């Protein structure tokens, strides 16, 4: 408790509309010693940046280019594995295993899909695997975070499929309860999820407005950011406060160095429902 009290008091103030004082990688380096007791949970959070870097590498190898205006890759720097080691892993997952042991769903992904073209077209499986893993985390806050993100991802996929005319019955995957309710209530404005996930109306409404895909994705991250405040407010110095802070910083850090052109490139497949 004393550890968390001092650590939380020292963290820079974080709001969705405010500026970041530094990058997430710099923050984690600055607080490396203080955060050591929570290393396992933090690694679970940072795994998401590794998956994003894997996606950038896979897609660049298919000729899709990177996420910058000149087609190069601007890596997420707070990930667990260094970009150069991760590139070796993506080239040959069987013989270039990094020091960090990736969860089984990552191994299964690279074992199932052998070519970069196959991996690029099934990249959403990495993120589904990630949030499924998080929803089973032994820490209650991280488990709830994983569940919330899986539900949100399912809603986003459903809305995009309906707008594109895709067959929901055959293609919709994600949170099992959310999938069931959406399929039964696809003609309802709230997809039957209002009591299960109150933010559903706000999410669906984003796709009915004249917003660019980049603006929609920013708004979705704002909702993700807001969801972090829903758990454990009665315990202001528990571990979940630090976990939630790092996730919130991660969400904001995603946008700090991206101009609109680069942002559109990195979001090319997010728009299709991959994240």
Confidence at residue 272, expressed as pLDDT on a 0 to 100 scale? 44
Among 42-51, 129-138, 253-262, the minimum mean pLDDT is found in 253-262
Mean pLDDT of 22-38: 91
| Contact call for residues 68 and 262 (beta carbons, < 8 A) | yes
- Residues 106-121: tens digit of each pLDDT: 999 999 999 999 999 9
Q: How many CB atoms lie within 10 A of CB 29?
A: 11
DSSP string, 59-92: HHHTT---SSTTS-----TTSSS-HHHHHHHHH-
- Nearest to residue 41, comparing CAs of 133, 115, 160? 133
What is the domain partition of the chain in residue ranges? 2-266
Q: pTM for this one?
A: 0.86
């Amino acid at each position: 408790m004393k550890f968390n009290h001092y650590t939380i008091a020292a963290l820079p103030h974080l709001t969705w509309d405010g500026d970041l004082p530094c990058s997430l990688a710099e923050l984690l380096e600055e607080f490396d010693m203080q955060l050591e007791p929570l290393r396992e949970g933090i690694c679970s959070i940072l795994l998401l940046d590794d998956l994003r870097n894997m996606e950038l590498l896979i897609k660049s190898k298919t000729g899709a280019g990177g996420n910058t205006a000149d087609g190069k890759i601007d890596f997420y720097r707070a990930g667990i594995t260094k970009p150069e080691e991760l590139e070796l892993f993506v080239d040959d997952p069987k013989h270039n295993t990094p020091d960090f042991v990736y969860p089984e769903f990552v191994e299964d992904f690279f074992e199932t899909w052998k070519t970069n073209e196959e991996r690029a077209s099934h990249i959403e499986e990495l993120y589904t695997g990630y949030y499924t893993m998080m929803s089973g985390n032994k820490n209650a806050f991280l488990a709830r975070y994983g569940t919330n993100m899986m539900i949100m991802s399912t809603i986003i996929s459903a809305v995009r499929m309906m707008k594109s005319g895709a067959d929901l019955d055959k293609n919709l995957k994600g949170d099992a309860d959310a999938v069931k309710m959406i399929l039964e209530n696809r003609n309802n404005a709230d997809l039957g999820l209002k009591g299960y996930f109150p933010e559903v109306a706000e999410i669906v409404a984003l796709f009915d407005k004249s917003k660019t895909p980049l603006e929609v994705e920013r708004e979705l991250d704002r909702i993700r950011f807001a969801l972090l405040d829903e758990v454990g407010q009665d315990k202001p110095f528990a571990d979940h406060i630090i976990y939630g802070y790092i996730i919130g910083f991660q969400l904001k850090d995603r946008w700090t160095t991206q101009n609109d052109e680069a942002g559109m490139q990195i979001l090319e497949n997010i728009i299709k429902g991959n994240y």
